[in-house]
Structure 1
């Protein structure tokens, strides 16, 4: 009986050594990157920056009374009244106003910067205005005003 080792063990060892050397060497020349060229992992990309929500909108009402009419002027910031998109899909930062008069649950959809209430009764009146998306979801921004008809 011969104690001679088969040739394939040497071939197997040589192949394993060659494979290990290739793995340790990598897949080609290494590229040098300076710290200023390297972007941190959490740095926002241009696409991510463009998807950020717009600044919180604001709403202020001013009321001018003349006889039994009240002209309401709506001032907004970070918000665009968009009558052309009323009741359509949501576009961040635009929409319309829901106006409630004297605590009524009936809303008036306001799509312009001014709105006139006519034939008001004498006495104290209150207004509440809220900002809404094109598809009527609230922005959770509101303003309240009280005024007098003499």
Structure 2
């Protein structure tokens, strides 16, 4: 009888201890981290801002659903090309040369250095908040006039210069996807990045449904798993000084559709 009482007491102590451990166990941080958030006025004297932010995803694939900003009348993504999918184990960005967040009728002075609270809501990670620091006025280039993402500038290929052309191939692998860029009249030149323009050289930018994944300095790259569904992978070519290549009236870009299941 005594043995039963002792055993019951020990079981009770174990349950209480386990409950206490659960209560005291620190909450795990979300797998998504928002960093380097900036807000740039799009027009001099206007109350419209473009917000750029890096989205580091150390977890499984996710989808950016919507955004909000209490200091603005409205907040919306600049363009929509399908779900803003985040591959697993990746760093994406709301960027000037991709889909970005546009704030309209921001209240208060747009002083340099002021910070604005910004919330991004994800399908799995939930709502995360950061603060975007207002920086200098951002000139808008002609990229959008040629069907390119964002507000960057272009570099029109001159007569007699190499006229780059690219095509994409996608292969499914265990960790996600491999994307190969087949190019003509173009050389990837990481050693010249941020330097002056040299015709026929430069780097690429890769996007998933318009959300920028980063720069490409070689003809092959890999991305992680994507949410279930159809997605557009797009690559554009840029000069060393970060202008999008345009041949005639056509941007040097290629896309491929992949299905994730």
Q: What's the TM-score bracket when you normalise by the shorter of the two chains?
A: 0.5 to 0.7
Deviation at 1:107, TM superposition (A): 4.7
Aligned-partner Cα distance in 2 for 1:107–1:134: 18
Aligned-partner Cα distance in 2 for 1:80–1:54: 13
Equivalent position SS for 1:71: strand
Residue 82 of structure 1 pairs with residue 193 of structure 2: no
Answer 1 or 2: which has greater helix percent.
1
CA 1:56–1:68: 2 relative to 1, 3 Å:
same
Residue 57 of structure 1 pairs with residue 164 of structure 2: yes
Q: Deviations over 1:81-135 (max 9, x none)?
A: 111111211111100001111222x351000111100132222111111111011
Deviation at 1:67, TM superposition (A): 4.2
Equivalent position SS for 1:75: strand
User: Could you tell me whether the CA contact under 8 Å between 2:231 and 2:257 is conserved in 1?
Assistant: yes
Using CA pairs below 8 Å that are at least 6 residues apart, which structure has the higher relative contact order?
1
- Select the residue among 112, 118, 142 that pairs with 2:218: 112
User: Could you tell me whether the CA contact under 8 Å between 1:79 and 1:93 is conserved in 2?
Assistant: yes
- For structure 1, the residue ranges without an aligned partner over 5 or more in a row are 1-50
Corresponding residue for 1:133? 239
TM-score by length of 1: 0.61
Residue 73 of structure 1 pairs with residue 180 of structure 2: yes
Rg larger for: 1
User: Could you tell me whether the CA contact under 8 Å between 1:64 and 1:70 is conserved in 2?
Assistant: yes
Large movers: runs of 4+ above 4 Å: none
User: Could you tell me whether the CA contact under 8 Å between 2:197 and 2:239 is conserved in 1?
Assistant: yes
Aligned-partner Cα distance in 2 for 1:124–1:107: 17
- For structure 2, the residue ranges without an aligned partner over 5 or more in a row are 1-157, 246-250
Equivalent position SS for 1:84: helix
TM-score by length of 2: 0.36
Aligned-partner Cα distance in 1 for 2:200–2:227: 36
Equivalent position SS for 1:116: strand
User: Could you tell me whether the CA contact under 8 Å between 2:162 and 2:199 is conserved in 1?
Assistant: no
User: Could you tell me whether the CA contact under 8 Å between 1:68 and 1:122 is conserved in 2?
Assistant: no
In the comparison of the two structures, how many residue pairs are matched? 99
